[in-house]
A and B are shown apart, each in its own frame.
Chain A
């Protein structure tokens, strides 16, 4: 079963529109961490946010905001007043201890966000 699901493969909006990227995760752990990364065309992953499972407060950083809801196992990412520079692939990732897996991140397949001028 996929542990991190980003159902939106690609989203295209016009500049200045608001856009929300969905992330649904699956874990049996009570302690886990969720991350969002941005991958611009250059390829390097840029860290955006880390959130632990005990902190359900929403977070805002400039035009970016994150909505963490344990009840629905979701960690959605909203960009307000989008700009062309926001065009990238965005990944949601999970860090957990269960399942005996390696201590790496489990990534979703990413959402390709296209901001049209």
Chain B
């Protein structure tokens, strides 16, 4: 089945630790995105990538890093610089090069909790 997978479903982070969230898609989409969702809030854009080896900061990129070495994969690292990382993280992809007309399709999400 075509789709977007995210792992793990739940992730626990200790203070000062970097953690990496996985996002893989087999839809052959060019663009991929990472969003953060806090309780009772909408989604906010962290990073996005239009093409392999290129990515752009979103509205809340501080404390996060990404890579795009393969078209299918767009992992997100939550660094120790992110002081409030507890949130629900959603990965998305869209067929074209992040044009405003593109529909974004979402993965099942990863819930990150701080110990």
Stretch at the interface among A30-38, A60-68, A70-78, A80-88: A30-38
Pairwise interchain contact A104-B48, C-beta atoms closer than 8 A = yes
Select which of A93, A102, A107, A110 is within 8 A of B58 by beta carbon. A102
* Interface, chain A (partner B; CB < 8 A): 4, 9, 31-33, 35, 37, 42-47, 50, 52, 91, 93, 95-97, 101-105, 107-110
* Interface, chain B (partner A; CB < 8 A): 31, 33, 35, 40-45, 48, 50, 56-59, 88, 90, 92, 98-109, 111
Additional A-B contact list (18), CB under 8 Å, known A9-B40, A95-B101, A103-B99: A31-B100, A33-B100, A33-B101, A43-B111, A44-B90, A45-B43, A47-B106, A50-B101, A50-B103, A102-B48, A102-B58, A103-B48, A103-B56, A103-B100, A104-B35, A104-B58, A104-B104, A109-B40
